[in-house]
Chains A and B, each alone.
Chain A
């Protein structure tokens, strides 16, 4: 997580946050954690569809692995019940282990694929598992103008929420 912020700050030195794209959850198979694999149009000019699909599919498979109801989860559940769930305070659950794997994967993807394209993936855990947030950065140093540069000013203050209110 520290390196993600470093990336973020490094980017901000010569890049401005232009836009944020949100990949929503896919509930077609129930309440399990899955994200839509539909390619957002805003990223059309930024990256290849195949790479994006690969990222989302891998994330979905990780979440499916974390939420898998099988032998290990039953064992964990029964053992926890027998110990009045105190074991959850002592040991790391399988879900937490997989979440750590996921954050490592996202970091790796950011370094290898997304950062070179001026994008930044945010771990869904930081957004309540609701969305995958992809921040789109505009290269400020090279002086390239883009259609979305007009909302740079408002987007940069997006954190203060001025852009969000109507």
Chain B
């Protein structure tokens, strides 16, 4: 017989509930204690633009990395092949300086590329609700009685030149001069140049010098490697050449390097030349495409009010000017008020598209209105704190213009002579390489909506047509 042991259930223990925590006094000190017990959120976690952050906000990138992996891959592969196959021969026959120079250039190129891709291009934080209300009040005071308000612009005189400041519906502020809203990143960027898919980030006020140094040093590097490979081929004797032809790996590697360098040299030299022209005249790619200061837009003769009228001073001010700090303070902690405001702010923005779409009849951008609703900001960060910010607020027609300009910038400046042809050639080569990759899409960001990628996909197809901007969606 089994020995069943029965335990007496302690009824008292069951009936008394678990001791409740003593009610916390609802004072500011109490709230502060709760907040310190909770993890303080950093500002990047509630950032409203479409950016990706890594390493707890230290690194900022566009949501879509574009073809940055391809750029890095091409540079790495070409340089490594150069060091393995050409350097030993050239050190033997010429000088030991060759790998030293090559190494220095390679390091320089990679560092400036990383800095261009991972730094804040000069993003303007969005206006606070109070600021936005103040601006709205000023606009309405101007006597706006029509149902459909005229495009919100404000004119300022900069060095005796009339400049129109446009109102950004997403960021709720009048954009400072030379600032443009990047629709890919959904941010207003100061001194916006273009959104470069090759570096996977916008190029603006803060990272233009990194970008310029990158393309100049890359043109030196590709020219150097091209020269070395050609020298290597020229110096190999007839006998060695026969032996090499038998070794098809070495022969193909030489051919591959020659091909990559040949196309890169022309396109990147052209791009460097174009940007040198922009730096010397203190222009941005955006302004150059739109023809803001060359009278293309049909306005009366306009001169660039930002130019110092001296090439040297222009170059120095753009490249050697003081480095402005980042305005978005991504690693700062949210204050108590901002913590309260953040979830509510995102909630409000979901309602806005319905209101805004009535007003902005110009917009008509289907892909924007069909975007999925905002994700809650407190998505748990995965691996290294990566997070995509998402904001479904409607882009205005100005944002659409910027997207056009950005697309134009990527095709680049069509009739710029050698530079333009070389650049479109460069893009055609890139497109060819990308199609070879097959299913792996470099443009698909993790967890992002595909609203913007169709437009990019379309533009990549249109690159075959030598840089003509694709029709609007």
Whole-angstrom distance from the CB of B401 to the nearest CB of chain A?
A: 20
Asked if B132 and A164 sit within 8 Å, CB to CB, the answer is yes
Interface residues of B in 304-343 (CB under 8 A from A): 305-306, 313, 316-317, 319-325, 327-329, 335, 337, 340-341
CA distance A27 to B328 in the complex (A): 21
Contact segment of A48-56, A68-76, A109-117: A68-76
Counting chain A CB atoms within 10 Å of each CB, the highest count among B159, B177, B325 belongs to B325
Asked if B163 and A27 sit within 8 Å, CB to CB, the answer is yes
Query: Does A39 sit at the interface, judged by CB under 8 A?
Result: no
Known contacts A5-B335, A20-B130; is-contact A27 B322 (Cβ 8 Å): no
Asked if A30 and B158 sit within 8 Å, CB to CB, the answer is yes
Known contacts A31-B191, A77-B320, A85-B213; is-contact A161 B129 (Cβ 8 Å): yes
Interface residues on A, range: 35 or more
- The closest CB in chain B to the CB of A95 belongs to B322
Q: Which of B131, B136, B319, B325 contacts A127 (CB 8 A)?
A: B131
CA distance A161 to B126 in the complex (A): 13
Q: Which residues of B contact A73 (CB under 8 A)?
A: 320-322
Known contacts A84-B108, A158-B129, A164-B129; is-contact A9 B327 (Cβ 8 Å): no
Asked if A161 and B156 sit within 8 Å, CB to CB, the answer is no
Asked if A131 and B111 sit within 8 Å, CB to CB, the answer is no
Counting chain A CB atoms within 10 Å of each CB, the highest count among B131, B158, B177 belongs to B131
Asked if B322 and A67 sit within 8 Å, CB to CB, the answer is yes
- The closest CB in chain A to the CB of B320 belongs to A77
Q: Which residues of B contact A160 (CB under 8 A)?
A: 129, 340-341, 344
Query: Does B445 sit at the interface, judged by CB under 8 A?
Result: no
Q: Which residues of B contact A142 (CB under 8 A)?
A: none
Known contacts A66-B322, A96-B325; is-contact A9 B28 (Cβ 8 Å): yes
Q: Which residues of B contact A125 (CB under 8 A)?
A: 325, 327
Query: Does B134 sit at the interface, judged by CB under 8 A?
Result: yes
Counting chain A CB atoms within 10 Å of each CB, the highest count among B165, B306, B327, B340 belongs to B327
Q: Which residues of A contact B328 (CB under 8 A)?
A: 128
Asked if B322 and A76 sit within 8 Å, CB to CB, the answer is yes
Q: Which residues of A contact B213 (CB under 8 A)?
A: 81, 84-85
Interface residues of B in 341-373 (CB under 8 A from A): 341, 344-345, 348
Query: Does B42 sit at the interface, judged by CB under 8 A?
Result: no
How many chain B residues touch A (CB < 8 A): the figure is 54
Query: Does B243 sit at the interface, judged by CB under 8 A?
Result: no
Asked if A93 and B321 sit within 8 Å, CB to CB, the answer is no
Counting chain B CB atoms within 10 Å of each CB, the highest count among A5, A125, A131, A164 belongs to A164
Whole-angstrom distance from the CB of A157 to the nearest CB of chain B?
A: 10
Asked if A163 and B133 sit within 8 Å, CB to CB, the answer is yes
Query: Does B173 sit at the interface, judged by CB under 8 A?
Result: yes
Asked if A130 and B323 sit within 8 Å, CB to CB, the answer is no
CA distance A95 to B322 in the complex (A): 7
Query: Does A47 sit at the interface, judged by CB under 8 A?
Result: no
Q: Which of B131, B191, B321, B323 contacts A22 (CB 8 A)?
A: B131
CA distance A165 to B347 in the complex (A): 12
For chain A, what secondary structure do more than half of its interface residues adopt (helix, strand, loop), or is it mixed? mixed
- The closest CB in chain B to the CB of A75 belongs to B320
Query: Does B209 sit at the interface, judged by CB under 8 A?
Result: yes
Q: Which residues of A contact B324 (CB under 8 A)?
A: 67, 95
Query: Does A29 sit at the interface, judged by CB under 8 A?
Result: yes
Query: Does B396 sit at the interface, judged by CB under 8 A?
Result: no
Whole-angstrom distance from the CB of B303 to the nearest CB of chain A?
A: 13
CA distance A25 to B127 in the complex (A): 14
CA distance A28 to B158 in the complex (A): 4
Query: Does A159 sit at the interface, judged by CB under 8 A?
Result: yes
Query: Does B470 sit at the interface, judged by CB under 8 A?
Result: no
CA distance A161 to B213 in the complex (A): 43
Asked if A163 and B320 sit within 8 Å, CB to CB, the answer is no
Asked if B128 and A94 sit within 8 Å, CB to CB, the answer is no
Q: Which residues of B contact A129 (CB under 8 A)?
A: 327
Query: Does A86 sit at the interface, judged by CB under 8 A?
Result: yes
CA distance A81 to B125 in the complex (A): 28
CA distance A74 to B177 in the complex (A): 24
Interface residues of B in 135-176 (CB under 8 A from A): 136, 156-159, 163, 165, 173, 176
Asked if B131 and A133 sit within 8 Å, CB to CB, the answer is yes
Q: Which residues of A contact B173 (CB under 8 A)?
A: 130
Query: Does A80 sit at the interface, judged by CB under 8 A?
Result: yes
- The closest CB in chain B to the CB of A96 belongs to B325
Whole-angstrom distance from the CB of A111 to the nearest CB of chain B?
A: 20
Contact pattern, B 52-77, Cβ under 8 Å of A = 1, otherwise 0: 00000000000000000000000000
Whole-angstrom distance from the CB of B256 to the nearest CB of chain A?
A: 28
Q: Which residues of A contact B128 (CB under 8 A)?
A: 127
Q: Which residues of A contact B157 (CB under 8 A)?
A: 28
Q: Which residues of B contact A133 (CB under 8 A)?
A: 130-131
Q: Which residues of B contact A94 (CB under 8 A)?
A: 322
CA distance A147 to B129 in the complex (A): 22
Q: Which of A27, A93, A128, A159 contacts B156 (CB 8 A)?
A: A27
Contact sample, A vs B, 9 pairs, CB 8 Å cutoff? A9-B28, A31-B306, A69-B320, A76-B320, A95-B324, A96-B325, A130-B124, A159-B340, A160-B340
A67-B322, A130-B127, A165-B129 given; name 18 further pairs at CB < 8 Å.
A27-B165, A28-B159, A31-B158, A69-B317, A76-B323, A80-B323, A84-B107, A85-B112, A85-B210, A93-B325, A94-B322, A125-B327, A127-B125, A133-B130, A159-B129, A159-B341, A160-B341, A161-B341
Q: Which residues of B contact A (CB under 8 A)?
A: 28, 107-108, 111-112, 115, 124-125, 127-134, 136, 156-159, 163, 165, 173, 176-178, 190-191, 209-210, 213, 305-306, 313, 316-317, 319-325, 327-329, 335, 337, 340-341, 344-345, 348
Q: Which residues of A contact B (CB under 8 A)?
A: 5, 9, 20, 22, 25, 27-31, 66-69, 73-74, 76-78, 80-81, 84-86, 88, 93-96, 99, 125-131, 133, 158-161, 163-166
